[in-house]
Structure 1
Amino acid sequence: MMAGAQRSQTSFHFCHNPHAGSLLQGLQELRSDNLLTDVILCVSGKEIPCHRSVLAACSEYFRAMFCNGLRESKDYKVTIHEVSPDALQLIVDYAYTSEITITEDNAWQLLEGANFFQILPVRDACVTFVSNNFSAKDCLQMMQVGNMLSCPDLEKNASLCALKEFTTVSKTPEFLSLTKDQLITLISSDDLNASEKTVYRAVMTWINHDTRKRKKEMRELMELVRFPFMDKLYFLENVDNNNAVRKSCQDILTETRRYQLFPEEVESPCTRPRRTSGLREAVLVFGGLEKMEIGENPAVFSNSITCSPEPSTSSWTRVSRMKRKNDSRFAVAVLGTRNVIVSCGAKSRDVWLYHPELNSWHKLAQMKENRYHHKLAVVQGKVYAIGGRNLSSESSPWTSVEVYDRIQNKWTESVSLPKSRCGHAVAVVDGNIYVMGGLDTEYKDTSTVYRFSPGDSQWQSQTDMPLTTYAITASVLNGNIYVATLTNFLCYKPCENGGSWSVVVGVGTLCMYGMTVLWWESSHLWWL
């Protein structure tokens, strides 16, 4: 062998990219010349010669028909009943060319055919075409078709159109044929683009279309109309004076009248504004640690309040400053839908109400105790200050709870916790306050969970957390309580038998943080 000879290759991988297209073109030419075809599809007198292998490779339906020993796997002529001749021809052409033209005239036939033959690319293309051409007059019909064809994307897109165009949609004949569940899906949505007057009138029209069968559904449907946001005069003249509504929904009407007088004292699903109301949720961050304690230099805490409607971006803006400088272990809660109540930590009993829209502060009555490392919870417009301790080094955590009445501007003693707690988490679900974890009188971590509802004479023990922990925070999402501990992210599902816990995910090591729920395109939990 020569010293400079090139070493021979042991292998060489070759890929001719145009091959797939050339193969498809060759199969199309064979079909056009009726060569090697082994089956004829017959539909309404029309015959379409094909290759079984091409159909089976393109369609799960034909794969099952031709590859599982069915009679059609041997028949030369196979009759198709489920689609029109034109739709079948277009679908077969697609199998050989990968191309299809969808128009307003053939979109529905193609959608039904592609869905039946399980040719997903064509089905999805039809859904996209149809969705881009929805109108208020036909979106309910499309929603029904999507449900009938088990096509969730079509049903979802049609539903979004119905939500957006609800005022027009509610006047169509198809609206009167909605099932109760379909109507509930629409009127329960935060994305419904209509006034509550329109929602109420639509519900009444639906009920009156078949009063004998539908009047029993009135209460369930009226619970989804957000009467607190309805024009007050219209409510008094048309809702409050309606005998049928008064008979079945008296408590709903009473709640609405109460909200009109004392809006911050009423909390229910009906008091949650829809997105079209103009109210937009955002995240507010109060204070936080600026500098760690180093040697003889004490820790420094910020008194800034920053805001962002989109925490996933860098669009954070400082909107105000808290009244106390260098404050820590204070507590914050939302009162109503627009105001924030702040109870100071450290060595103060001061309580402030912050109005973000006006960027103004209003001092409220002082708490009875100088609470530190406590939590606030708001139920039925009342503010509960729960547990905590005095800043004094000799102080042990407290069992005491006090409640604030804004009308009287007064704090009064409430039902005490069964055990002393500080550094615990608090959440409110369905009008119940839940207190979780925290430190006891000996400053040991706990795992206990207590529940309290206004009017109860004592706190009720619930299922313990799966670990002992303190310095934790909690938020509520979809009726479940999510607790962020120092090392884990837990989920608690409340129920009458004490509820149940599960570990959602490990989150590493966290310290001195907050957490909240932000409603955006979907619901998210944010650590702050």
Structure 2
Amino acid sequence: MDRKPKPLLEVFHYKDKEQPSLLSTQLNRLRKERVLTDVLLCSDNTEVACHRNVLASSSPYFTAMFCHNFRESQQQKVRLKGISSGILSGIVDYVYTGSVVITMDTVLPMMQAASMFQYTRLFEACSHFLQEQLSPENCLSMIRLSDILQCGSLKEKAREMAVRNFSDVSNSEDLCEMSLPELMNYLEDDRLCAEEEQVFETLLAWIHHDPFSRRGAISDLFKKVRLRYIHPTYLFQFIASDPLIQSSNLCTEIIESVRRLMFSVSTRCGSDLKPLWAAPRRYTCQETLVLVGGRKNNEQTSREALLFDEQTQRWQWLAKLPLRLYKASYVCIHSVLYVLGGLTMNTERSVVSTAVYTLSLKTNQWRTAEPMIQARFAHQSVAYLHYIFVLGGLGLEMQLCDTVERYSSMFNQWEVMAPMPTAVLHPAVATNDQRIYLFGGEDAMQNPVRIIQVYHIGRNLWSKMESRTVKNVSAPAAVIDNKIYIVGGYTRRMIAYDTKANRFLKCKNMKERRMHHAATVLGDKLYVTGGRFINGHDIIEDSDSFECYDPKTDMWTSKGTLPYKLFDHGSLSMVCISNKPNLP
């Protein structure tokens, strides 16, 4: 059978990928041998032979010089001012080969030459080299340099370094040389990686560098400090007594407005303070989950403290509690973790404790604080504004307590408050809108109590009401958007109490009947850790579960497992500045 003839190829598009490289290599060889060169670029006592057409095709600068009616287009020798012979040779090598060596000695003149001759990619290569040299010690100098060179990419990276390492940068002489608008720009930045106390100390150092001309800026700078996130003791004892602050009527008025807000036990502030008080935390102040204490692997009371790193999805170990405490309570206020009371387990004879231990993520060290008035364990603690409230529990004689005491972080002292109407053990406790809510719990005979007890913080008054919906024991509670979520408590059920509408809402059930677990809020989600659960054979088991509930979707998702099984522990959301605490 005859085959059809193969059609002739009428068009063949050929592209030689090596030709551009070979061409530039040959042109560079011709330049070095001075073959067909038609212009000499002169600098110092050096003459570099080049081809006009190569230079003109490489940059708009040389295009204008040789292709328009400038005198250089007719000259055999073109003298270039302000550029050294070494830099000129490097620029010409770059034009012909695309390669150049950049060092710390040559980067600045090379960058200036690249800017003058309009070699954009070479200019950015120099910028990249300088970015690799950035450090907290030189980033402010680099910002000034980037302004001189008009280099946006270097300025952006240097500023990012300064913002991320503000703790180191704030101590530098360069910061004190900033103009007022420059400093204001930093203090307004939500990305600033610094505690607000340090922000205040930075503005003081800046003013004291030139007090005669700068002291008038104190009120404008002070408005940039986010007072809501400063520890009250620091604010009212250190800041309020500073001579510069006292010299400004506006500053003292702001502090007095904050003081009135604190003493009113209200989260609502006046119109004059509202813009300052409403300023959000800086982006670098991230909430992180911390677990502390509890019973580990059903063996013994744990001294462990763990932090969950959201970025790596891993647990990190913090400094251990100074001693083992059975059924202490845990609370966080002003970015400090408090462990209150408990039954000491380090001695031959267990002792009910009044001790208070604190942990700051900044130092990762445990310290002692002012002890409680009454020794207690199996109690509850909640934080509200600058107060910590401790409620109920078991006292020295193992009797069930109805007592309440309050700690003021402003004055570092405890005081006795109105007792609970009904003493209960293991209720679900939460605070919202100047009130503390206690749901359920059990009485001295271990019978579930179907009541809601409400404490009005400002009035120091209790009220209570019966509710058939409430039947929880050893269940945590947490608040999201004015709704108090009661998670389990010898049941799978989770319910939400709407404090505004005064009604309960049903939520998605958990997988198992859970108790002695812990819950806390991060962002707008509820995180539940550990506890004990009743399996399908009605046997109680310890849990290492780590789950997340999203109220928007009413869905539970698993976050993996804890490093070990844990119950009766504290679960807290704490703010850390860099999300990298000073781990041991």
TM-score (norm 2): 0.50
- The superposition leaves residues 12-53 of structure 1 with CA deviations (integer Å, 9 ceiling, x where unpaired) of xxxxxxxxxxx9899657524349x9xx9x99999976999x
Measure the CA separation in 2 of the matches of 1:118 and 1:484.
Answer: 54
Post-superposition offset of 1:512: 5.2
User: Contact conserved, 2:478 with 2:484, CA < 8 A, in 1?
Assistant: yes
- The superposition leaves residues 66-104 of structure 1 with CA deviations (integer Å, 9 ceiling, x where unpaired) of xxxxx99x999899xxxx975992893796447422336
* CA separation of 1:178 and 1:372: change in aligned 2, threshold 3 A: same
Structure 1: state its 5+ residue gaps.
Answer: 1-22, 57-61, 66-70, 260-267, 276-280, 292-299, 345-349, 493-498
Aligned residue among 278, 285, 288 for 2:292: 285
1:126 is paired with a residue whose SS is: helix
Post-superposition offset of 1:354: 2.5
Partner of 1:355: 357
- The superposition leaves residues 248-288 of structure 1 with CA deviations (integer Å, 9 ceiling, x where unpaired) of 564235458999xxxxxxxx999x9xx9xxxxx99562222
Measure the CA separation in 1 of the matches of 2:444 and 2:263.
Answer: 46
- The superposition leaves residues 168-200 of structure 1 with CA deviations (integer Å, 9 ceiling, x where unpaired) of 45532x331327553222896435794735535
Aligned residue among 221, 231, 245 for 2:251: 245
Please state if 1:420 is matched with 2:470.
yes
Please state if 1:507 is matched with 2:582.
no
| Alignment map for 1:247-326 (pairs within 5 Å) | 247=253, 250-254=256-260, 285-291=292-298, 302-307=300-305, 312=315, 317=320, 319-322=322-325, 324=326
User: Contact conserved, 1:374 with 1:424, CA < 8 A, in 2?
Assistant: yes
Post-superposition offset of 1:126: 1.9
Post-superposition offset of 1:358: 3.0
User: Contact conserved, 1:389 with 1:396, CA < 8 A, in 2?
Assistant: yes
User: Contact conserved, 2:510 with 2:556, CA < 8 A, in 1?
Assistant: no
Please state if 1:31 is matched with 2:28.
yes
* Matching residue's letter, 1:232: Q
| Alignment map for 1:64-79 (pairs within 5 Å) | none
* Matching residue's letter, 1:235: A
* Matching residue's letter, 1:242: S
Please state if 1:435 is matched with 2:433.
no
Post-superposition offset of 1:490: 3.9
Post-superposition offset of 1:162: 4.9
Measure the CA separation in 2 of the matches of 1:91 and 1:399.
Answer: 85
* Matching residue's letter, 2:294: G
Measure the CA separation in 2 of the matches of 1:130 and 1:289.
Answer: 45
1:89 is paired with a residue whose SS is: helix
1:320 is paired with a residue whose SS is: coil
Percent identical among aligned pairs is 8
Post-superposition offset of 1:127: 0.5
Structure exhibiting the larger radius of gyration computed from Cα positions: 2
| Alignment map for 1:334-345 (pairs within 5 Å) | 334=332, 337=336, 339-341=338-340
Measure the CA separation in 2 of the matches of 1:106 and 1:225.
Answer: 46
* CA separation of 1:238 and 1:309: change in aligned 2, threshold 3 A: same
Post-superposition offset of 1:105: 3.4
Please state if 1:445 is matched with 2:447.
no
* CA separation of 1:503 and 1:351: change in aligned 2, threshold 3 A: farther
User: Contact conserved, 1:377 with 1:385, CA < 8 A, in 2?
Assistant: yes
User: Contact conserved, 1:476 with 1:482, CA < 8 A, in 2?
Assistant: yes
Instruction: Count matched residues.
Output: 426
* CA separation of 1:112 and 1:175: change in aligned 2, threshold 3 A: farther
* Matching residue's letter, 2:138: F
User: Contact conserved, 1:140 with 1:175, CA < 8 A, in 2?
Assistant: no
Measure the CA separation in 1 of the matches of 2:92 and 2:456.
Answer: 71
User: Contact conserved, 1:489 with 1:505, CA < 8 A, in 2?
Assistant: yes
Please state if 1:158 is matched with 2:168.
no
User: Contact conserved, 1:195 with 1:230, CA < 8 A, in 2?
Assistant: no
Post-superposition offset of 1:134: 0.6
Partner of 1:190: 194
Aligned residue among 176, 185, 189 for 2:180: 176
Measure the CA separation in 1 of the matches of 2:355 and 2:67.
Answer: 77
Partner of 1:496: none
User: Contact conserved, 2:199 with 2:225, CA < 8 A, in 1?
Assistant: no
| Alignment map for 1:100-119 (pairs within 5 Å) | 100-103=102-105, 105-106=108-109, 109=112, 116-117=120-121
User: Contact conserved, 1:517 with 1:524, CA < 8 A, in 2?
Assistant: no
Measure the CA separation in 2 of the matches of 1:390 and 1:518.
Answer: 30
Post-superposition offset of 1:400: 1.9
Partner of 1:10: none
Measure the CA separation in 2 of the matches of 1:127 and 1:438.
Answer: 50
User: Contact conserved, 1:371 with 1:390, CA < 8 A, in 2?
Assistant: yes
Please state if 1:332 is matched with 2:340.
no
User: Contact conserved, 2:441 with 2:449, CA < 8 A, in 1?
Assistant: yes
User: Contact conserved, 2:549 with 2:555, CA < 8 A, in 1?
Assistant: yes
Larger mean Cα displacement after TM superposition, 195-204 or 96-105: 195-204
* Matching residue's letter, 2:338: N
- The superposition leaves residues 363-414 of structure 1 with CA deviations (integer Å, 9 ceiling, x where unpaired) of 166334564554444679x994632422799844645245598x99x99457
Measure the CA separation in 1 of the matches of 2:554 and 2:125.
Answer: 39
- The superposition leaves residues 282-335 of structure 1 with CA deviations (integer Å, 9 ceiling, x where unpaired) of 9562222433xxxxxxxx6x334334689955676352122x5xx5xx753235
- The superposition leaves residues 134-180 of structure 1 with CA deviations (integer Å, 9 ceiling, x where unpaired) of 166x36536878994386433211334554232545532x3313275
Greater RCO, CA 8 A, separation 6+: 2
User: Contact conserved, 2:164 with 2:193, CA < 8 A, in 1?
Assistant: no
